[in-house]
């Protein structure tokens, strides 16, 4: 099995791509590319069994409806709630609220934070991937899934404050990752992960992609499937890191 991970940014120069080759009891990080172009990501997604992309795949339904009504000159609908409750409902997707419940950490709002610029990039990238491999399900039911490395690191007990801004902290996180996952072979990409938070997150995204591919992530609740196909759904690991190479994973391949 081959999995790919993408730490997507609004600009190509801050986008990173990683690929991991999986075989019996081991995983080898084959490449980490900094400044990965959309064309390179599309090629990787076409080759990979599953690709995890660190970016929101869509916008909250309530936010989309609010913008539609506002553009049409209609009044703001405050019949359900108002104030901060109303603004929070528009700002976050159902998957964001699910992540907060499970991990205590809320993803950035795609509607109100700078993540929106990256999500615009992601929407075009998903179209380009779909041109190669067929329709991309935003709910993650196909060969591409939305991932959130920060939340996965919490689940796997690898979270380190400030790892995105401090290379020394990233070095500690990489060392801990190799302790917990001795079957993971980083090779020269270890240096990239310490040097760049983008590279680090891309490798974690590829690990999450493996978890999702072998059924090791929380499923979309049945009542939210249609909404997840519009808004996107974050594939959050549901088991320990070692299960990625365990017997259950081998059976799921």
> Is the predicted pLDDT of residue 237 greater than 70, yes or no?
yes
Shared-domain flag, residues 114 and 230: yes
Q: Does residue 106 carry a pLDDT above 70?
A: yes
Q: Would you place residue 250 in the very low, low, confident or very high pLDDT band (cuts 50, 70, 90)?
A: low
Question: 101 lies in a domain?
Answer: no
Paired sense of beta strands 2-7 and 50-54, if any: parallel
Q: Both 153 and 78 in a single domain?
A: no
Q: What's the mean per-residue pLDDT of the chain?
A: 96
Which pLDDT score is estimated for 115?
92
> Residue 84 is part of which domain span?
59-92
State the average pLDDT over residues 169-181. 96
Enumerate the β-bridge partners of residue 237: 217
- Say if residue 111 is in the same domain as residue 131: yes
Specify if 149 maps to a domain.
yes
Q: Shortest CA distance to 206 belongs to which of 170, 124, 198, 161?
A: 198
Residue 129 and residue 183 in one domain: yes
Count of domains for the chain: 2
Name the phi and psi angles at 114, rounded to 5.
Answer: -65, -10
* In a shared domain, residues 79 and 178: no
Query: Averaged over 2-12, what is the pLDDT?
Result: 97
Question: pLDDT tens, 117-158?
Answer: 999 999 999 999 999 999 999 999 999 999 999 999 999 999
Q: pTM of this prediction?
A: 0.96
Does the structure show a pLDDT above 90 at 108? yes
Same domain for 86 and 171?
no
- What's the average model confidence in pLDDT over 184-209? 97
């Amino acid at each position: 099995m081959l999995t790919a991970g993408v730490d997507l940014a609004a600009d190509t120069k801050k986008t990173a791509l990683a690929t991991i080759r999986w075989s019996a009891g081991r995983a080898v990080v084959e490449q980490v590319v900094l400044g990965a172009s959309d064309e390179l990501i599309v090629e990787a997604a076409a080759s990979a069994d599953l690709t995890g992309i660190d970016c929101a795949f869509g916008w909250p339904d309530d936010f989309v409806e609010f913008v539609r009504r506002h553009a049409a000159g209609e009044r703001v609908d405050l019949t359900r709630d108002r104030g901060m409750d109303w603004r929070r409902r528009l700002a976050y997707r159902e998957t964001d609220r699910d992540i907060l419940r499970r991990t205590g950490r809320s993803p950035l709002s795609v509607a109100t934070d700078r993540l929106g610029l990256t999500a615009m990039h992601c929407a075009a990238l998903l179209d380009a991937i779909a041109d190669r491999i067929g329709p991309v399900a935003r709910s993650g039911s196909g060969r591409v899934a939305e991932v959130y490395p920060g939340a996965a690191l919490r689940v796997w007990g690898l979270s380190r404050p400030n790892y995105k801004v401090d290379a020394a902290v990233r070095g500690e996180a990489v060392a801990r990752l190799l302790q917990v996952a001795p079957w993971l072979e980083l090779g020269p990409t270890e240096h990239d992960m310490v040097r760049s938070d983008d590279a680090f997150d891309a490798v974690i995204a590829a690990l999450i992609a493996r978890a999702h591919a072998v059924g090791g992530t929380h499923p979309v609740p049945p009542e939210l499937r249609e909404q997840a196909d519009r808004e996107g759904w974050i594939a959050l690991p549901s088991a320990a890191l070692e299960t990625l190479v365990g017997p259950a994973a081998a059976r799921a391949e």
